[in-house]
Amino acid sequence: MHPIAAADELAEIRAEIARLQSREAELRASLLAAPADMLTGRWHRAEVTEQRVRQFDAALLPREIRENPAFWRESFRMVVRTLPVQARGPRPGWPIRRSGQGAGADRSMH
């Protein structure tokens, strides 16, 4: 296995996380729309429940409070972005392409 630069690995991990989050959203929508008898798979059962959530909404505060600097705090954080290097092509074999769904689907890389 060839060593991979940290920047390349981070970019690949973030791309895979984004792909997984997109797939999670698709599956969640499908399960929310599914009848109860379609929520059980071979190894897992999805449970759909409704929860009440309390959320603080600062926009409901009077403008004088929202804009008063005494109620604000400033902080700094380090941000790491990954940007493609134009001089080189994409890493061979990346991104991993998965095709098909379900058992028996072709899982080969393209």
Q: What pLDDT, in 10s, does the model give residues 30-68?
A: 999 999 999 999 999 999 999 999 999 999 999 999 999
Contact residues for 90 (Cβ-Cβ < 8 A; gap 6+): 84
Tally of structural domains, the chain:
1
The reply to whether omega before 35 is within 30° of 0 (cis) is: no
Position 11 in a domain: yes
* 3-state SS assignment for residue 69: helix
Q: Per-residue pLDDT for 102 more than 90? A: no
Position 55 in a domain: yes
Q: What pLDDT score does 84 carry?
A: 85
Position 105 in a domain: no
**For residue 14, what are the domain limits?**
6-71
Over residues 81-96, mean pLDDT? 74
CB-based burial, 68-79: b 16+ in 10 Å, e otherwise: eeeeeeeeeeee
Cβ proximity of 110 and 35 under 8 Å: no
